[in-house]
Amino acid sequence: MHIKSILLFVALLAISLAGISQQRTIRGTVSDSLTQQPLPGVTVAVPGTTTGVVTDADGRYNILLPDGKNTLRFSYIGYSELSLTTTSGHDELNAFLSSVSQSLNSVVITGYTQQSKSRTTGAVTSLPTAVTTQAPVASFDVMLQGRAPGLYVGTPTGQPGEAGRVSIRGLGSINGDVNPLYVVDGVPVANNSFAALNPEDFETIHVLKDAAATAQYGSRAANGVIVITTKKGKAWEDGKVRVNYRGQFGVSGLNSSKWDMMNTDQRLQFEEILQDPTLPGWAYSRNNPNKMVNGIPVPKTAEDYTFGNQYLDSLRQINTDWRKHLLRQGRIQTHSLNVSGGNEKTTFYLSGGYFNQDGIALNSGMERYSLRANVQNRSGRFKTTLNMGISTATIKYIQDEGVAEEGGAAVGGGGITEKNPIAALYYALPYESPYGKPGPGRYGANALDAYANSLKKDNQIKAVLSLNETVELTKEFQLTGTVGMDFQQNNTTNYLNPDSWYGNLVSNGNQGSYQRGLANRLGLVATGGVRYNKQWGKDHEIEANLLSEINKIKGNGFGFTGYGLVPELPGTPAGITPGTPDNNFIPVISGQTTPNRLLISQIALFRYSYGDKYTLSASLRRDGSSQVPATNRYKFFYAIGGNWNILAENFLKDQQAFSTLRLRASYGLTGNAGGFTSDYGFRTLYSPADYNGNKTLVPMTPGNPAYNWEMNRIGDIGLEFGFFHNRLRGEIDLYNRVTEGLFVNRNLSHTTGFPTIAANAGKVRNRGIELMLEGDAIKNRDFSLTLGLNLAYNKNKILSLGGEDRIFADEATMNMVGRPLGSFYAVRWKGVDPQTGAPVYLDKEGRETNTYNPDDAVPLKATYDPPLIGGATVSIRYKRFDLSMLVSFIHGMSRLNYPDLYAHSGSPNYRQYSQSKDMLNIWQKPGDVSQYPGAQYATYFTSRDVTSADYVKLRNITLGYNIPVPKHMSGAIRNVKVFASGQNLLSIMKWRGFDPEDANDIAQYEYPMPRTITGGINVTF
């Protein structure tokens, strides 16, 4: 019996070993089919068995395939289930899952970590990468308009390359920065530098809005974070590289503006109504019996009447439409070529891009060249990622658009000056010849002279580089490190020809000017630490990160303006005449050593997930900023968040209504250290001055040694839902954001020598609701129709100004306790007295008066930050055709419309400018009922000039067609697509003028937003 037992045991062991020998281990990576990003937490199972594993943080898996089995099933919440068959001799199997809803279920990348949307506790909106290619827009941030709930983008001007004013969930500061933090491949970048980046290289775009998502960035996260990753290479199934070319050509012109300026006949009629002898419409009118001789009216003779008739007839022959002379139809072209490929160890993505856009105003436009190289390598325990992007851009501006210190046109743009050609569109009279000589009052000719004899440009160099290294110590422990650089150089030139009209008006010598400026900005970041990721049992997972980080930003710049130019040496500093005390050519020299700041941080991140049912996250960050005095330099920022997949509960397992139902909530603290215009603002600063012929230093700012951080406390609760197998899906968020220690300028006694001091003395609240809905109305093999809508309502309220009741921002807006930031104030307009034609105002008590008194100005129910914003999308696919459309809208925004004010005034101060056709209805005699007072009355800024800037815009529409590739070419060409796109095709608005869209409260003849139509082709080899 003993021998028989041994023999039986040996036989059974041999059979078992034979079975084991026939098993094999399959490994691979599971990725998102659209973004190519690895998917952590994917279930990999062998159908018909209990064998299964879950992918790790990098999307990798190892599974033992039983004998006789060759199929693996990949399943993940929000993604279509996928089954793949292995082949003999191949132990690696990579899978690419398709998301059933990119808005609800995708990989969320926050910069430091990434996980599936189902395990994310924060309010994060993931944007499809198609937004970066649908419209040929020079600056990426402008493409975000209407794309995400709670994200507002105001475009200051239509100048190519212009950066937008971006805010997330309202304005949270008065003097501090209100722009979000931008992070590209782990490197923070300047928020006005996207003109020099090629958006076609972007792969993922994530908008982080609440504390659970943003608090990991601490003192830089007060206004939200936008995280961008660039495209990575891929080891394609056939082992070959992919080459992709995309090209677009098109034209741009003036948009659908409400332009109603007078033609020549109307202008001469208006001048006759005014009966102003200095204007030709009355001076030469047959109804005017007198002519002016040395300022004295003298009766006209027959010859005078004859000459007057001839002169007026000659004016009527001119009738200039200045839009045809000061604006143009601009051309645009873009080209992008990229190559990607690799193997299981190394992948690469290489690209080159070219962008060229003519502005619709002469002398304006942008040209950009860009290169990118992204390489990933996995060797044993090491994973290396290198991202390198460099570009150069040349931006040409019209005069008086301005150039900001760190590149791009000045926020707000425009200028109430004759040198601004856009202002000349309003100022220039229709009977002025475009071929006349420049001079006083010849606004159109002066603008053409500025076009022909000036140059204003900015040559930018931009480089963003990052190197990430991950070392796998064990299956659970990883060392991570990232170093990165954001470099930008701006080389600006501003030239005025000495022989031009404006060149002769230059105060230093009246012989033009030549200005150069060079500014450098270098941002450095280094992050390192350890990551721990542990999965045990069937449902438990922990991820923890301990990191240290250093952020350093340095800048410097210098410039000069020279005078007395030699006409024979145009556009070069060699033409500058050396300045002496006698010739008034003394040059202006400038220099700077800012920005210059350091941020040192320690970061702790934690996440626990119980299957797909519960997730708890927490973050703690300690920041030390050189922008804050030593006593307040270090602060802790934190957040805690939770996610509950309600459908995973037993009490809902039999329900059929919902396909997704997740509840999440978060609360945390973020900060803002940049309350001063200078990185040294908390100190007493000095500037050079002259005293008794000698150089000296004088105090410039008082400083504030008690200065502290602005602190944001943010609470958020959100619900993600889906019906009918996620055919209808959406999210709704409620949030409350309170900013304390608000940066305000408190008034000082005049005896101090300073008007104000920057202090932490205010409190503001943003409270709102966000809604995103998306539905597949039709979805079958040949036809699909998807509709989307996002809405956000934000209620902004100032809770305190540190003892002050109100603080005035400019001549139109103020900040007042109990009202939103940026509220308008003005003397209220009542109307026009029909008996006298006098304007009627309301005084402070609401009584009617004909006397304009600035002290009667009161707060208005109007603000320039829109409380309601949103967008609507339509996506249609029919066989090989696809159509997408975006409509964006805002409601509740107001702006002071200076161009409209000047175009509706018959007063002596403004009547020399061209006027709106409405002014033919100006009050003339008792009994007239008119909106416009008699010409004898002065024009002042009142409440009627604060007008609605609401709009509904057809922002973009794109139609594409995938051309069938002939079989004999399928080995060389994989896909061919042609498409056509339109941008800003239609605007519905009350605004009178070119465009209400802007980034500030006052319209001052900004560059018009263009309407752009392009056609293109996309070929994959």
DSSP string, 822-854: TEEEEPEEEEE-TTT--EEEE-TTS-EESS--G
Burial class (CB in 10 A: 0-12, 13-18, 19+), 932: buried
Query: In this predicted model, what pLDDT tens digit does every residue of 475-510 receive, in sequence order?
Result: 899 999 999 999 999 999 999 999 999 999 998 989
Q: In degrees to the nearest 10, what's the CA dihedral of 297, 299, 301, 303?
A: 30
Q: What is residue 501's DSSP assignment?
A: T
Q: In degrees to the nearest 10, what's the CA dihedral of 247, 252, 256, 258?
A: 150
Does the pLDDT at position 410 exceed 60? no
Q: What is the pLDDT of residue 665?
A: 97
Q: What is the pLDDT of residue 259?
A: 82
836: phi then psi, degrees, rounded to nearest 5 = -110, -15
Mean pLDDT is lowest, of 41-50, 881-890, 941-950, for 41-50
Query: How many alpha carbons lie under 13 Å from residue 346 in its C-beta half-sphere?
Result: 4
Instruction: Report the amino acid identity of residue 969.
Output: M
Q: What is the C-alpha separation between 251 and 909, in angstroms, rounded?
A: 39
Does the pLDDT at position 799 exceed 70? yes
pTM of this structure: 0.87
Average of per-residue pLDDT across 660-674? 92
Q: What is the C-alpha separation between 439 and 451, in angstroms, rounded?
A: 15
> Is the bond into 595 cis (omega within 30 degrees of 0)?
yes
Between the alpha carbon of residue 557 and those of residues 196, 283, 463, 520, 839, the distances in Å are: 19, 55, 18, 6, 51
Is residue 739 within 8 A of residue 792, CB to CB? The reply is: no
Does the pLDDT at position 5 exceed 60? no
Q: What is the pLDDT of residue 780?
A: 85
* DSSP E strands, 780-915: 783-800, 806-808, 813-816, 823-826, 828-832, 839-842, 848-849, 858-863, 868-878, 881-891, 894-897
Q: Between 106 and 741, where is the model more confident?
A: 741
Burial class (CB in 10 A: 0-12, 13-18, 19+), 238: exposed
The sheet with strand 124-127 has its strands ordered as: 124-127, 202-208, 225-230, 181-184, 187-189
Rounded-to-5 percentages of helix, strand, coil across the chain:
15, 50, 40
What band does 17 get if pLDDT is binned at 50, 70 and 90? very low
Q: What is the pLDDT of residue 744?
A: 83
Which residue, among 428, 266, 177, 435, has the nearest Cα to 1005 in the 3D structure? 428
Mean pLDDT is lowest, of 134-143, 411-420, 752-761, 808-817, for 411-420
Q: What is the C-alpha separation between 20 and 590, in angstroms, rounded?
A: 78
Q: What is the pLDDT of residue 33?
A: 67
What band does 106 get if pLDDT is binned at 50, 70 and 90? low
Token pair in block for residue 1017: 């082709």
What is the helix (H) or strand (E) element at residue 268, kind and residue range? helix 264-274
Query: How many alpha carbons lie under 13 Å from residue 182 in its C-beta half-sphere?
Result: 19
Paired with 596 in beta bridges are 554
Token pair in block for residue 538: 């069937």
Q: What is the C-alpha separation between 426 and 423, in angstroms, rounded?
A: 5
Query: In this predicted model, what pLDDT tens digit does every residue of 736-759 receive, in sequence order?
Result: 999 998 888 777 766 777 777 778
Which residue, among 47, 78, 80, 81, has the nearest Cα to 63 in the 3D structure? 47
Average of per-residue pLDDT across 108-132? 84
Is residue 1020 within 8 A of residue 341, CB to CB? The reply is: no
Q: What is the C-alpha separation between 838 and 831, in angstroms, rounded?
A: 9
Which string of DSSP letters, residue by residue, matches 643-660?
EEEGGGSGGGTT--SEEE
* DSSP E strands, 219-328: 225-230, 242-254, 290-293, 296-299
Which string of DSSP letters, residue by residue, matches 323-348?
HHHHB--EEEEEEEEEEEEE-SSEEE
Mean pLDDT is lowest, of 633-637, 696-700, 1002-1006, for 696-700
What band does 99 get if pLDDT is binned at 50, 70 and 90? low
Q: Which residue has the tokens 């009542």?
A: 830
Does the pLDDT at position 995 exceed 80? yes
Average of per-residue pLDDT across 1013-1020? 94
Q: In degrees to the nearest 10, what's the CA dihedral of 278, 281, 284, 288?
A: -90
Query: In this predicted model, what pLDDT tens digit does every residue of 461-480 receive, in sequence order?
Result: 999 999 999 999 998 999 99
Q: What is the C-alpha separation between 424 and 415, in angstroms, rounded?
A: 11
Q: What is the pLDDT of residue 21?
A: 42
Under DSSP, is residue 813 helix (H, G, I), strand (E, B) or coil?
Answer: strand
Query: In this predicted model, what pLDDT tens digit does every residue of 128-185 receive, in sequence order?
Result: 777 777 777 777 788 888 899 999 988 878 888 887 788 999 998 887 778 899 999 9
- 623-629-633 Cα angle (round to 5): 20
Does the pLDDT at position 420 exceed 60? yes
Q: What is the C-alpha separation between 941 and 923, in angstroms, rounded?
A: 19
Q: What is residue 10's DSSP assignment?
A: H
Q: What is the pLDDT of residue 104?
A: 47
Instruction: Report the amino acid identity of residue 387.
Output: N
Token pair in block for residue 890: 């805002």
Q: Which residue has the tokens 């829109």?
A: 866
Average of per-residue pLDDT across 547-553? 96
Q: What is the C-alpha separation between 448 and 434, in angstroms, rounded?
A: 8
Under DSSP, is residue 524 helix (H, G, I), strand (E, B) or coil?
Answer: strand
Which string of DSSP letters, residue by residue, matches 966-977?
PGGGTTT--EEE
User: Counting every residue, how long is the chain?
Assistant: 1021
Q: What is the C-alpha separation between 224 and 154, in angstroms, rounded?
A: 16
Paired with 446 in beta bridges are none
The contacts of residue 442 (CB under 8 Å, 6+ apart) are: 432, 436
Average of per-residue pLDDT across 81-107? 72
Does the pLDDT at position 78 exceed 60? no
Under DSSP, is residue 424 helix (H, G, I), strand (E, B) or coil?
Answer: helix
Under DSSP, is residue 505 helix (H, G, I), strand (E, B) or coil?
Answer: helix
Q: What is the pLDDT of residue 34?
A: 58
Residue-averaged pLDDT of the chain: 88
Q: What is the C-alpha separation between 836 and 834, in angstroms, rounded?
A: 6
Average of per-residue pLDDT across 910-934? 95
Average of per-residue pLDDT across 113-127? 87
Q: Which residue has the tokens 């969320």?
A: 108
Query: In this predicted model, what pLDDT tens digit does every residue of 214-233 receive, in sequence order?
Result: 999 998 888 999 999 999 98
Q: What is the pLDDT of residue 100?
A: 53
Q: What is the pLDDT of residue 740?
A: 93
What is the helix (H) or strand (E) element at residue 313, kind and residue range? helix 302-316
Q: What is the C-alpha separation between 817 and 805, in angstroms, rounded?
A: 6
Through-space distance between the first and last CA atoms of the chain, rounded to whole angstroms: 72
Average of per-residue pLDDT across 973-983? 92
Q: What is residue 436's DSSP assignment?
A: S
Q: What is the pLDDT of residue 963?
A: 92
Does the pLDDT at position 416 exceed 90? no
Average of per-residue pLDDT across 346-366? 94
What band does 999 get if pLDDT is binned at 50, 70 and 90? confident
Report the 3 state secondary structure along 36-90: CCECCCCEEECCCCCCEEECCCCCEEEEEECCCCCEEEEECCCECCEEEECCCCC
